Chain A
Amino acid sequence: MQRKDLLGLYDLSREEIELILNTAQPMKDIIQRDIKKVPTLRGKALVTVFYENSTRTRTSFEIAGKYLSADTVNLGVSTSSVQKGESLRDTIKTLEVMGFDVMIIRHSMSGTPHYIARNTKMSVINAGDGTNEHPTQALLDLFTIREHKGHLDGLKVAIVGDILHSRVARSNIYGLKKFGCEVRVVGPATLLPPGLDRLGVKWYYSLEEALQGVDVINVLRIQRERQQVGFFPSLDEYANLYMLRPEHLHLAKKDVLVLHPGPMNRGVEISSQIADGVQAVINEQVTNGVAVRMAILYLMMGGIRDEIAG
């Protein structure tokens, strides 16, 4: 892949997305082998720097690197000198001169990976920045959808919940639109951002209307803090209006897929019957996340393609 950094799907081309998804397929095969290690990235080093709590994304990147034989280090913010007041620029420089090839960054503030990318020779992979993008999550969602539907073109996808603050929603929208999907978003009016029409996204307040005839439902995690600052009155009211329940699935296509980026609030945005039901592919998403991240690391750290395919 001819780029130093992976910051978002907004500026990835359809071809680049397809390259990543196509590369993820053989990676998934590796994960399912008995011996899950290939020597492809031996001698390369990556560091994950997470300024926000996350277990699955960080673990997913770490194991993806390890399966490819890269050296992986996790910098926990609480254990780093960030706590001692070190500036982000100094942290970046320190990691760069230690010789890391790739920095995987999660940060609560939008645009921080872009700032880092401008200020380092390391490749930067965005593992979620504020309310902006979460490109690897969207890529694993696309991979999962494509694996089940055989293609992405023209699918109808509903994204449910807090669209305003969701980086998962943004990255999914940018990715899906590149495949001509009909993207619908649904949530309380206070949690829908402006400019959706201009983005070519259909928006709904009613969950029932939004789900009519869709191929995919992507349910977002609702942050409890949003209630406290006044975006909606109570979690109960939210659940009454937007929790995905079994009866909703009849509105969608028969073979509808239900995705959730996790971790789930069962009984708030998704009912347990759905979460554990046959239409949900939530655990597959986690496996595919490792495969997609292996593909990205491989493409960005300059492995040789034949090694994997062979």
Chain B
Amino acid sequence: MKLLVKGGRVIDPASGMDQLADVLIQDGKVMGIDRNISIDEGEMLDASGKLVCPGFIDIHVHLREPGFEYKEDIATGTRAAAAGGFATICCMPNTDPVIDNAAVTSFVRERSRKAGVVNVLPIGAVTRRQEGNELAEIAEMVAAGCVAISDDGRPVMRADIMRYALEYSKMFQIPVMSHCEDLHLSKGGQMHEGFFSTIYGLKGIPAEAEEVMVARDLLLAKLTGAHLHLCHVSTAGSIQMIKRAKSEGVHVTCEVTPHHLTLTDEIVGSYDTDTKVNPPLRSQEHLETLWKALKDGTIDCIATDHAPHHFESKDCEYELAASGISGLETAVPVVMSLVHKGILDLKTMVEKMSLGPARVLGLDRGRLEVGAIADLTIIDPEAVRTVDPAKFYSQGKNTPFKGLEYKGWPYATIVAGKIVARDGIIA
């Protein structure tokens, strides 16, 4: 079975390619990238005017299955990913039961094969039940298919446990993905601490609640020589420390979310609970530092922290509302808005959403070259649409981007040579 992606602008950050070309796919692999390829049989996808990129990878997704299928499940979450332009997603272990052993890992992989429409790579827990006290069975989880370990959402507060996790992870060449938050400094906090938390009368979470733990984890990464990956970095102080650590040779990578790149704490004044997220939306100065860090390479990748919630967990008092944003189906247009504004160039955007995340996890993906797995994300840079959560494939309609108009949307998502979504619609 052949598929010819015809006439698109092919962007491959790994090789530096950025030119009009056709991409020939056969049997799930890229067979040719060239001008004027023609085929006698098979399917043709007209990509003229479109951007043809390596399949996008989101290394930070909450699929909620098993245990919280009322928020999201593997079927709906992977469809949201496909519609949003992602060919591969990594799912966090804060499920019920927690992905803290081989059996749950296998369950998630099996369910993904049966019910999913994109590649799903599970992330295992650092500690049993994510309780922060004893290491989970990391070797067994890796053998069953986990690509990293993380206690995301429940930071590892004990420095000794974090140290052991980092040391132990070295045996498997997997990163420890750390959600940096000092729970004492952030206790009761609802939004970024600053001028607007004063104005809105909501308890603030200082930038330092994140930075204290970034500092600790960087020191432990240096001590152990392990690969530390910092999740959803949101502050200028974190960026400065990461930059310095990288220059000193510490093995650290980090991600940033589309919402932390584009929204500020000012919008919390609506008390719209869809603006509540952890870490919180920061102030303009932090945003500008994140933009620079994307460009200079301090930030390795963009990840959504897709956190779907049930309607009722958001339809309530701000303090009682769950934290999180349903992000898979808005990531591409939101990041494209930075491209249109000249804040980010297209090549960097594509890199941070494909090759960058692949490198963080050591995945053999994120390249568009002959012989590669045929995962492709095709973007229509001119398409204009308004974010309508009612049309999300995700069960989580919780997005602060609702009602906003964006230009530049996913046009097609191809997974192993198969078109799984087209113009936001699942095939």
A-to-B contact residues, CB < 8 Å: 10, 87-89, 107, 109-112, 114-115, 129-133, 167, 170, 193-196, 198-199
Which one of B198, B203, B273, B318 lies within 8 Å of A199 (CB-CB)? B198
B200-230 interface (Cβ within 8 A of A): 200-204
Most chain-B Cβ atoms within 10 A of its Cβ — which of A88, A111, A194, A198?
A111
Answer yes or no: B119 CB below 8 A from chain A CBs. Answer: no
Measured between beta carbons, the chain A residues less than 8 angstroms from B201 are 110-111, 129-133, 167, 170
Q: State A88–B317 Cα separation when bound (angstroms).
A: 8
Closest to B195 in A: A195
Q: State A111–B273 Cα separation when bound (angstroms).
A: 10
Is B198 in contact with A193, judged by CB distance below 8 angstroms?
yes
Is B318 in contact with A110, judged by CB distance below 8 angstroms?
yes
Is A198 in contact with B195, judged by CB distance below 8 angstroms?
yes
Measured between beta carbons, the chain A residues less than 8 angstroms from B204 are 194
- How many A-B pairs have beta carbons closer than 8 Å: the answer is 70
Is B317 in contact with A194, judged by CB distance below 8 angstroms?
no
Contacts A109-B319, A131-B203; A114 near B198 (Cβ below 8 A): no
Is B202 in contact with A194, judged by CB distance below 8 angstroms?
no
Minimum distance in angstroms from A200 CB to a CB of chain B: 12
Measured between beta carbons, the chain B residues less than 8 angstroms from A114 are 270-271
Is A89 in contact with B315, judged by CB distance below 8 angstroms?
yes
Is A87 in contact with B202, judged by CB distance below 8 angstroms?
no
Minimum distance in angstroms from A134 CB to a CB of chain B: 10
Is B316 in contact with A87, judged by CB distance below 8 angstroms?
yes
Closest to A166 in B: B201
Closest to A113 in B: B271
Is A111 in contact with B195, judged by CB distance below 8 angstroms?
no
Minimum distance in angstroms from A14 CB to a CB of chain B: 18
Minimum distance in angstroms from B207 CB to a CB of chain A: 11
Answer yes or no: B380 CB below 8 A from chain A CBs. Answer: no
B-to-A contact residues, CB < 8 Å: 190, 193-204, 270-271, 273, 312, 315-320
Is A131 in contact with B202, judged by CB distance below 8 angstroms?
yes
Q: State A109–B190 Cα separation when bound (angstroms).
A: 11
Most chain-B Cβ atoms within 10 A of its Cβ — which of A89, A109, A196?
A109
Measured between beta carbons, the chain B residues less than 8 angstroms from A10 are 199
Contacts A107-B317, A109-B318, A114-B270; A87 near B198 (Cβ below 8 A): no
Which one of B194, B195, B200, B317 lies within 8 Å of A115 (CB-CB)? B317
Minimum distance in angstroms from B12 CB to a CB of chain A: 46
Q: State A299–B287 Cα separation when bound (angstroms).
A: 43
Measured between beta carbons, the chain A residues less than 8 angstroms from B195 are 194-195, 198-199
Measured between beta carbons, the chain A residues less than 8 angstroms from B199 are 10, 170, 195, 199
Is B318 in contact with A115, judged by CB distance below 8 angstroms?
yes
Measured between beta carbons, the chain B residues less than 8 angstroms from A170 are 198-199, 201
Q: State A129–B317 Cα separation when bound (angstroms).
A: 11
Which one of B193, B202, B316 lies within 8 Å of A132 (CB-CB)? B202
Minimum distance in angstroms from A163 CB to a CB of chain B: 9
Closest to B188 in A: A229
Measured between beta carbons, the chain A residues less than 8 angstroms from B196 are 195
Contacts A109-B317, A132-B200, A133-B201; A87 near B271 (Cβ below 8 A): no
Q: State A88–B196 Cα separation when bound (angstroms).
A: 26
Is B193 in contact with A194, judged by CB distance below 8 angstroms?
yes
Which 8 residue pairs of A and B lie closest in terms of their CB atoms, listed nearest first? A132-B201, A111-B271, A195-B195, A193-B198, A110-B201, A109-B319, A131-B201, A195-B198
Q: State A195–B203 Cα separation when bound (angstroms).
A: 13
Is A194 in contact with B194, judged by CB distance below 8 angstroms?
yes
Measured between beta carbons, the chain B residues less than 8 angstroms from A199 are 195, 198-199
Minimum distance in angstroms from B423 CB to a CB of chain A: 33
Which one of A130, A167, A195, A198 lies within 8 Å of B319 (CB-CB)? A130
Is A194 in contact with B198, judged by CB distance below 8 angstroms?
yes
Q: 9 A–B contact pairs at CB < 8 A?
A: A87-B316, A88-B316, A88-B317, A115-B271, A132-B200, A132-B202, A170-B199, A195-B196, A199-B199
Minimum distance in angstroms from A77 CB to a CB of chain B: 13
Which one of B198, B203, B318, B319 lies within 8 Å of A196 (CB-CB)? B198
Closest to A7 in B: B271
Minimum distance in angstroms from A109 CB to a CB of chain B: 4
Q: State A262–B355 Cα separation when bound (angstroms).
A: 62
Q: State A30–B342 Cα separation when bound (angstroms).
A: 63
Minimum distance in angstroms from A152 CB to a CB of chain B: 21
Q: State A269–B312 Cα separation when bound (angstroms).
A: 42
Closest to A192 in B: B198
Is A111 in contact with B198, judged by CB distance below 8 angstroms?
no
Is A194 in contact with B197, judged by CB distance below 8 angstroms?
yes
Closest to A51 in B: B317
Minimum distance in angstroms from A179 CB to a CB of chain B: 19
Q: State A198–B198 Cα separation when bound (angstroms).
A: 11
Which one of A89, A110, A196, A198 lies within 8 Å of B202 (CB-CB)? A110
Q: State A193–B191 Cα separation when bound (angstroms).
A: 14
Measured between beta carbons, the chain B residues less than 8 angstroms from A111 are 200-202, 271, 317-318
Minimum distance in angstroms from B193 CB to a CB of chain A: 6
Q: State A110–B200 Cα separation when bound (angstroms).
A: 8
